[in-house]
Amino acid sequence: MPDASSIRYAATLPAATGRNRGSVRFDTTNAAAKVSDGADWVEFSVGPAASYVQSGTFATTTIFVAPQACKVIAASEVHSTLGTDGGAVTAVVTKDTGTQAPGAGTSLHQSGSFNLKGANNTVQNATLSTTPATLTLAAGDRLAVKLTGTPTSVAGAVVTVQLAWL
């Protein structure tokens, strides 16, 4: 039985359109691993991780400035003490460009947000946008964590965003 987790070698890659996101091929022409994003083959290289670590009051803030083109591949949040405010208390990761203020850009979340009133010490993974342009950062673009609501009692919050260089 063939190994289901094997990487296929190819001198020329087949069209990526319609392939499962995450399909992997090894391009022997460039000697590079490539992953399908559902529309194109993207060279796989793990880049930096951007993190927001709460110290004091949780606030909307910039957490990363792209030094070169990169793509967001994952985002998660965890907190040690949940919020107690009567209203919703949430956070999203945004892509800010040009002179946009922190959090004023496009949300990277397909839907929903991080619930800062969710269970303590429980990692929440974002469902990211399926629009490639939303997840792609040019040099100088920024990532921010945008707070909505009043973060009464929220403590120990950490938001991490994993990126890949393009």
More confident residue, 71 or 29: 71
Higher-confidence residue: 157 or 31?
157
* Local confidence band at 132 (pLDDT 50, 70, 90 cut-offs): very high
pLDDT class for 1, splitting at 50, 70, 90?
A: very low
- On the question of pLDDT at 95 being above 70, the answer is yes
Strand pairing report for 41-43 and 32-36:
antiparallel
Of 110, 113, 119, nearest to 83 by C-alpha is 119
Domain extents in the chain: 8-43, 46-165
Please report, for residues 11, 130, 140, 156, the alpha-carbon distance to residue 25 in angstroms, rounded to integers and kept in the order given: 10, 21, 30, 40
Distance CA 41, CA 144 (A): 28
Cβ contacts of 107 within 8 Å, gap of 6 or more: 92, 93, 94, 113, 129, 146
Contact call for residues 59 and 42 (beta carbons, < 8 A): no
The fold of 46-165 is Jelly Rolls (2.60.120)
Dihedral Cα 6, 10, 14, 18, nearest 10 deg: 20
